Amino acid sequence: MAHINILKYGVSSPADTSPLGELKAAGYQSSDIFAVIGKSEGNGCVNDFSRTLSTHVWEPAIPDSAVTIFSGGTEGVLSPHVTFLVQEPKPTGLVAVVGRTREFEPHEIGTAEHAVEVASSVKAMLSQSGISMDQVHLVLIKCPLLTSAKVEAILAASKVPVTLDTYESMAKSRYASAVGIAVALEEIDASGLNETMRNEDCWSSKASCSSGAELEDCHILILASHTSLGSLRATSAFMEDGIDAGTLIKALDKIRNEHGHVVQVFAKAEADPRGKIRGNRHTMNTDSDIHSTRHARAAVGGLIAGLVGDTHVYVSGGAEGQGPSGGGSLCMVYRVA
């Protein structure tokens, strides 16, 4: 566990590591980095190589114990950027812990075994760090997906993949990761895990999961409040749907009442699978040109950026099990004077 500060900087491309210079100017060294969380300008789908490139250039530049979590897709007004969590010697108000699961066999991705492994890892991280569940504001995970090569390998080994559709595997992996978080935080009962995986109807209010082809394990970041008050704070909630400005405004009012300003927003977004938003039909799920996750990121990203007044916000598409169906989890980090 580490007391942390949060800083963010724009990038000119997925390969841009110049924010290391800005971080140094702010008084930190690369050895202080606990996690790098980024939004890159790819399509956010299976073949989004911007995530892979960003991971490739950043991982050698940070400590081996640190994690990278890159989410592709900066549709609409969203702007590519990186967010650093850096270690501080004294309490700041927020703490974080990072870790990894073991590497998954391809046939395990998106299954109950995946969820169990995430739950076990998150529980262990909380136990070892001394963070209580009620202190947790966000559990951020980067999880693997199935590629065509992995599907072929699974079938050749006479095993069964969670799906034959590589794009669908992204959703399956996100859901399994979110269920693991929900089990670890005791938001759902682990005894009905197989049914939970089949029905895909459970969710965590603190989960934010993004899948990618650039890793075989899960990178995990837990962000929590510390018992010692500091200038850095967080508030968490969930959006009921993609136009839930009310929840955002309520969080911003809380921040303003504490004379604070927003440092970063972490939000999940998805096109409501029922095909409607507050009774009105939407076409995000039936657009043959643009995947629904891209529509959702643009819509929710625009809403959040407009209310916060900042386009360097972390909005990730595909919210399966991460907030109510059609909505998404939300965490705002802010600083008070």
Q: Which two tokens stand for residue 48?
A: 């989004």
Q: Is 210 one of the annotated active-site residues of the chain?
A: yes
Between CA 312 and CA 305 the distance in angstroms is 8
Q: Which two tokens stand for residue 219?
A: 């990178």
Between CA 305 and CA 309 the distance in angstroms is 5
SS (H, E, C) 255-279: HHHCCEEEEEEEEEECCCCCCEECC
Catalytic residue among 54, 210, 225, 329: 210
Question: Which phi and psi angles does 335 have, rounded to 5°?
Answer: -120, 135
How would DSSP label each residue in 177-242?
A: HHHHHHHHTTSS-GGGHHHHHHH----BSSEEEEEETT-SS-EEEEEEE-SS--SEEEEEEEESST
The DSSP call for residue 104 is P
Q: How do beta strands 67-72 and 94-100 pair?
A: unpaired
Catalytic residue among 8, 39, 142, 172: 142
CA angle 27, 33, 34 (to 5 degrees): 140
Between CA 14 and CA 61 the distance in angstroms is 14
Between CA 246 and CA 159 the distance in angstroms is 46
- For the chain, the first-to-last Cα distance in angstroms comes to 25
The set of catalytic residues is: 142, 210
